[in-house]
Amino acid sequence: MTAIHRLLLASVVALPGCVTEHASEPANRLIGDYVSTAFDVPGPNDAPVDVQAAGGSLQMTLRIDNSFSATVTIPQSVSTVMGSGITQSYAGVYSLANDTLRIDPATFIVGGMAWDEGSSSLTGISTGRWRPHFTLKQIMVAGRLRRQ
């Protein structure tokens, strides 16, 4: 086998190992804006209240520097353990490990969210005092609108 054949063979073998995402930036695929497609919070008697259907929402932005901001809006027409007629803002930092977005629960309503690569969505992991359940759909990717 000639040196050129070995070089070509080595380049073909190396191709399957190529990735599109830099290893030092694992959370880049999550950067963007998110809006809730489902948002339930327990009511005063712990029965789930569909905040999304009542006109409420949860919006979140994940930035390249691993910071986030989020806004929760619960309309006056529903009563939840978080309150009613409120708009609450949150901010802090996040990390990504094994497709789970981690946030300090002291800075947001949940400490973790499961990332679904196929649907570009985050689903809240219900823990803590308020036990919300929500799904956020990614609407922006690195400053560009994502095709729906």
DSSP-derived secondary structure for 105-123: TTSSS-SEEEEETTTTEEE
Q: What's the distance, Cα to Cα, between the start and end of the chain in Å?
A: 50
The pLDDT value recorded for residue 105 is: 78
Q: How confident is the model at residue 45 (pLDDT cuts 50, 70, 90)?
A: confident
The pLDDT value recorded for residue 103 is: 87
Task: Kindly report the CATH class assigned to 23-145.
Answer: mainly beta
The pLDDT value recorded for residue 20 is: 33
The pLDDT value recorded for residue 111 is: 79
The C-alpha atoms of residue 134 and residue 37 are separated, in whole angstroms, by 7
The pLDDT value recorded for residue 68 is: 94
pLDDT of 19 over the 80 cut: no
Closest of 115, 110, 123, 87 to residue 99, by C-alpha? 115
The C-alpha atoms of residue 138 and residue 16 are separated, in whole angstroms, by 28
Q: How confident is the model at residue 27 (pLDDT cuts 50, 70, 90)?
A: low
Sign of the dihedral through C-alpha 105, 135, 43, 71: positive
pLDDT in tens, 122-138: 998 766 566 788 899 99
pTM reported for the whole predicted model:
0.73
Q: How confident is the model at residue 141 (pLDDT cuts 50, 70, 90)?
A: low
Q: How confident is the model at residue 11 (pLDDT cuts 50, 70, 90)?
A: very low
